[in-house]
Homo-oligomer: A and B are copies of this chain.
C-alpha cells in the first residue's frame, strides 16, 4: 500500500459492507485532499450513511481499508478516531447547556478546566455565537443548533468532519441560508468536510468535489461543474439537474457526435457524453437540460436559428410560473411534452397556446449508450 501521504486526509480503498445478503456498499475507493469540501450525493438507500458510519467507526467494513492521515484505522474504536461527525438530527445533548455540549469532547480527552473554557469560548467566537454558552439547547433556533453541532466537533480539531444530511430537518428558508454558511465555516476552519446529501443543490453549491453514489458504488467523482456539464453516465446526467430525456437510435456518428432519431421519430443532433464513443445504430439516451433550450415565438425564431443546430416547433401547453425558476411545457407535433426554462419579466411574456420554437445546441444534447438498467 501507499506510504504515509500527508496530502490526503482520508483514503478509502475498495471499501465494502454487506448486511447479510444486502450489499450496501460495494467496493468504493477515493481519497480526499486536505482541507477540501467533499460531498457524497446519491438517492435514498444508496449506501451513503453506511459509508460514513464505516469512516466514523460505527460499522466494521466487510472489506477494504480506511486510512486517515495515511494510517489505517481498521479496528480502532469510534472514540479513538480523530474523525468527528455531525448527525442528521444533530444529536445535541439536551440535558447539557451549550457550553457543556461543546466541552464534552474536551472533557473526555482529559483537558484542564481553563484550557477547556478557553477553547470553548474560542470556537463560539469563530461560529459567531459568542453569547450563547449558558443557553439550554431548546432555547436555540434551528440554525444556531446546527452551528453548535459543528462547533462541538471542531473544538476537537478533527482530521475530518463528517456531516450526514445535517440540513434535512430544517425548513426551506433556513436550509438555503445554511448552505452558504456551512461553506463559509469550512473555509474558516480549513478542515476536510465530508458531506452527505440526497439534495443535489446542496452538493453543487457547497462542494469542491462531489461523488455521485448509486446502489453502493461511485458513478463519478468530480467538481460540481464537471458533473453537471460533463456527466460520465446516464445516471449522473439524470440525477444531477433536471433534464428532458429521449431514447433513440444513432443514424450517423463520427464517434463523438452526429445525428440520432428519437423513438418518436424526431431527428436531433448530439455530442457524446464525456469519454464515450458512440457508433452508428446504437441505442442511446439523450439528455437536454431545460435551461439550455431557448423558447421563442415561431415568428421570431428565424433570427436565432443559427445559434443551435436543433430546432423543434410546438405549442405552449402550460406555463409553470415560479418567479425566477419559471418553466414552460411545450407540446411538440408528436405529442410529447418538453420542458424549457424561461425568464418571465411580466412584460410581453409567453402565454399558453402560443406557437413557439425550441432551439438548442448539439453541444448541450448529451448522449449515452443505453444500459440495461437505464
Contacts and interface: CB of A to CB of B under 8 A. Distances in A.
Interface string A318-362: 001111110000000000000001011111010000000000000
Interface of A: 172, 180, 199-201, 204-205, 224-226, 228-230, 240-242, 289-292, 320-325, 341, 343-347, 349, 363-364
Given A344-B225, A346-B228, A200 B323 contact: yes
Chain copies in complex: 2
Nearest to A229: B346
Contact of A341 (B200, B229, B324, B347): B324
A185 to B, nearest CB: 15
Of A205, A322, A364, which is in contact with the most chain B CB atoms at under 10 Å from its CB? A322
Contacts of A204: 321-323
Contacts of A345: 229, 292, 363-364
Contacts of A344: 225, 228-229
Majority-rule SS of A interface residues: helix
Contact of A346 (B201, B225, B324): B225
A205 B324 contact: no
Contacts of A241: 323-324
Contacts of A200: 323
A45 to B, nearest CB: 13
Q: Which 4 A-B pairs have the closest CB atoms?
A: A229-B346, A291-B324, A241-B323, A224-B321
Given A201-B322, A240-B323, 20 more contacts: A172-B199, A180-B320, A201-B325, A204-B321, A204-B322, A205-B320, A224-B321, A225-B349, A226-B346, A228-B323, A229-B344, A230-B346, A242-B324, A289-B323, A291-B343, A292-B343, A292-B345, A345-B363, A345-B364, A347-B363
A322 B227 CA distance: 11
A163 B343 CA distance: 29
Given A199-B172, A225-B344, A345-B229, A290 B321 contact: no
13 contacts: A200-B323, A201-B323, A205-B320, A225-B346, A228-B321, A228-B323, A228-B344, A229-B346, A241-B324, A242-B324, A289-B323, A290-B324, A324-B325
A87 B225 CA distance: 41
A142 to B, nearest CB: 12
